[in-house]
Structure 1
Amino acid sequence: METIQEYSTDLVPRLSSHARIVGRDGRVERYDESSAPNPAVTVFPHNEDDVAEIVRYCRERGLKCFAQSGGHGCRIKNHNSIDVVICMRPLNQVSVDESQHTVTIGGGTVVGELIDGVAEKGFEVATGLVNSVGAVGSLLLGGLGRYVGKYGMGIDNLVAINFVDAHGTIYRNVDGVTHPDLWWAMRGAGSAFGIVTQATLRIYPHSNNGLSWTCTLIFTNPSKETIERTFRAIDTTEFEGNMCILFFFAFLPPTGHPSLVVALWFSGSESEAEKAWERVLDPSLEPDFKKYDLLPTNRLNDANEAGCIMGMRRPSLGMGIERLDVAAFHEIWDLWLEFGGNEDAEGSAIFIERFSKKKSLEVSDDATAFSRFHRGIMYEVTCSPAYKDSALDHKVGEFTANVRDILVQKCGDPGKVRTYPAGAGSNEPLENIFGEKERVQKLLSIKKKWDPENYWNAFLGL
Structure 2
Amino acid sequence: MKIEKIAATFFIGSGVLFGTITAWSLSDLQVPSALGGPLPNSTKVVGPNTSDFREATERWDTYLAPNIEMVVEPGHEDDIPKIVKYCNKHDIDFLAYSGGHGSTTTLGSFDGIQISMARLRNVTIDPKGKTAWVQGGSTGGSVINHLWDHGYVTPTGAAACVGYMGLALGGGHGRLEGLYGMVSDNILQFNLVTANGTAIRVNKTDHSDLYWAMKGAGHNFGIVTSAQVKIYPRGPDKWYHKAYTWRGDKLDAVFNALNQFHGNGTTPVGMGVNTGTFLMMPNITKEEPVIFWLFEYRGTAEQAKPLLAPFDSIEAVAVDARESTYPQLADTPWICTAAQRIITTAGLQTYNLTAEHQIWDGFKRRLSKNPKLTHKTIIIHEGYATEGVESIDRASSAYPFRGDRHLMQFQGTIEESNLEADMWEWANEVRNQWNAGQPQRTPSAYVNYANGRETKEDWYGHQPWRLAKLRDLKARYDPLNRFRFYNPIV
Look up the match of 2:190.
161
- Alpha-carbon distance between aligned partners in 2 of 1:324 and 1:181, rounded to the nearest angstrom: 36
Assess if the C-alpha contact under 8 Å between 2:85 and 2:197 holds in 1: yes
Residue 72 of structure 1 and its aligned partner are, at CA, apart by 0.8
Aligned counterparts, 1:371-450, within 5 A: 371=400, 374-410=401-437, 412-413=438-439, 416-435=442-461, 436-450=463-477
Aligned residue number for residue 186 of structure 1: 214
Task: Name the SS of the counterpart of 1:24 in structure 2.
Answer: coil
Cα deviations across residues 284-339 of structure 1 (Å, max 9, x unaligned)? x221221222211211123x4322211x1113121101321122112212333455
2:40 aligned residue: 16
Q: What do you get for the CA RMSD once the two structures are aligned? A: 2.2
Q: Distance in 1 between matches of 2:220 and 2:6?
A: 29
Match of 1:226 in 2: 250
Give, in angstroms, the shift of residue 409 of structure 1: 0.8
- Quote the offset at 1:347 in angstroms: 1.9
Structure 1 position 7 matched with structure 2 position 7? yes
- Residue deviations 1:52-79, cap 9 Å, x none? 2222221111111111111111114252
Question: Compared with structure 1, are the counterparts of its residues 320 and 65 closer, same or farther at alpha carbon in structure 2 (3 Å cutoff)?
Answer: same
Q: Deviations over 1:247-305 (max 9, x none)?
A: 111224767843221110111232220111211222xx221221222211211123x43
Contact 1:161–1:199 (CA<8 Å) still a contact in 2? yes
CA contact (8 A) 1:237 1:277 kept: no
Q: Please give the alpha-carbon distance, in whole angstroms, between the structure 2 residues aligned to 1:324 and 1:6.
A: 50
Task: Answer yes or no: is 1:214 the counterpart of 2:241.
Answer: yes
SS in 2 for 1:278: helix
State the partner residue of 1:279: 310
| Distance across 2 between alignment mates of 1:268 and 1:98 | 28
Other structure's SS at 2:390 match: helix
- What is the DSSP-based 3-state SS (H/G/I as helix, E as strand, rest coil) of the residue aligned with 2:274? strand
Partner of 2:68, secondary structure, is coil
The 1:427/1:6 distance shift into structure 2, 3 A limit, reads closer
Residues 244-263 of structure 1 mapped to structure 2, 5 A cutoff: 244-252=273-281, 257=286, 258-263=289-294
* Whole-angstrom distance in 2 between the partners of 1:271 and 1:89: 41
The Cα of 1:344 is off from its aligned counterpart by: 7.1
AA in 2 matched with 1:83:
G
- How far does residue 167 in structure 1 lie from its aligned partner after superposition? 1.2
1:389 aligned partner, one-letter code: E
What SS does the aligned partner of 2:12 have? helix
Which amino acid in the other structure matches residue 340 of structure 2? Answer: R
Structure 2 residue matching 1:48: 3-state secondary structure: coil
Distance in 2 of aligned mates of 1:349 and 1:100? 40
Q: Which of structures 1 and 2 has the larger relative contact order (alpha carbons within 8 angstroms, sep 6+)?
A: 1
1:133 pairs with 2:157: no
Is the CA contact 2:243–2:319 (under 8 Å) kept in the aligned structure 1?
Answer: yes
The superposition leaves residues 92-139 of structure 1 with CA deviations (integer Å, 9 ceiling, x where unpaired) of 111122514212111111111110010000112111111100011111
Q: CA deviation at 1:5?
A: 9.6
Match of 1:201 in 2: 229
C-alpha separation between the residues in 1 aligned to 2:74 and 2:344? 31
Shift of 1:402: 0.7
What are the Cα deviations for residues 357-376 of structure 1, in whole angstroms up to 9, with x where unaligned? 222222122211113xx112
The alignment status of 1:270 with 2:301, answered yes or no, reads yes
Q: Relative to structure 1, is the Cα distance of residues 193 and 6 closer, same or farther in structure 2, using a 3 angstrom cutoff?
A: closer
Q: Percent identity?
A: 27
Query: For residues 338 and 137 of structure 1, do their structure 2 counterparts lie closer, same or farther at Cα, with a shift above 3 Å needed?
Result: farther
Q: Determine whether 1:236 maps to 2:260.
A: yes
Asked if the contact 2:132–2:229 (Cα under 8 Å) also holds between the matched residues in 1, the reply is yes
Distance 2:454 2:378 in 1: 21
Once the two structures are superposed, residues 142-176 of structure 1 have per-residue CA deviations (whole angstroms, 9 ceiling, x without a partner) of 1111111011111111111111111121113x211
Gaps of 5+ in 1: none
Partner of 2:387: helix, strand, or coil? coil
Cα drift, residue 437 of structure 1: 0.7
User: Structure 1's 254 and 35: CA in aligned 2 closer, same or farther, altered over 3 A?
Assistant: farther
TM-score (norm 2): 0.86
Secondary structure of the 2:134 match is strand
2:95 to 56, 66, 86: 66
Whether contact under 8 Å (2:107, 2:486) holds in the other structure is: no
Which residue type is aligned with residue 194 of structure 1?
G
CA distance in 1, matches of 2:436, 2:9: 56
Question: What secondary structure does 2:204 align onto?
Answer: coil
Give me the whole-angstrom Cα distance separating, in 2, the residues matched to 1:254 and 1:452: 55
What's 2:337 paired with?
Answer: 309
**How many Å separate the matches in 2 of 1:156 and 1:242?**
18
* 2:125 alignment partner in structure 1: 96
Contact 1:4 1:23 in 2 (8 A): no
Q: Does 1:330 align with 2:354?
A: no
Which moved further from structure 2: 73-82 or 188-197?
73-82
CA change 1:430–1:9 in 2 (3 A) is closer
Describe the shift of the 1:9–1:253 C-alpha distance in structure 2 as closer, same or farther (beyond 3 A).
farther
Letter in 2 for 1:151: Y
Whole-Å separation in 2 of the counterparts to 1:413 and 1:424? 20
- CA pair 256-191 structure 1, distance change in 2 beyond 3 A: farther
Letter in 1 for 2:205: V
The structure number with the bigger radius of gyration is 2
Shift of 1:85: 1.1
Distance 1:254 1:309 in 2: 22
Unaligned runs of 5+ in 2: 14-34
Tell me how far apart the structure 2 counterparts of residues 254 and 110 of structure 1 sit (CA, whole Å): 33
1: distance between equivalents of 2:83 and 2:115? Answer: 8
Which whole-Å CA distance do the structure 1 matches of 2:285 and 2:40 have between them? 49
Provide the C-alpha distance between the structure 1 equivalents of 2:222 and 2:62, rounded to a whole number of angstroms. 23
Residues 237 and 78 from structure 1, CA distance in 2 versus in 1: closer, same or farther, beyond 3 angstroms?
A: closer
Match among 344, 348, 357 for residue 321 of structure 1: 348
Aligned mates of 2:362, 2:297 — CA distance in 1: 32
Question: How far off is 1:434 after superposition?
Answer: 2.7
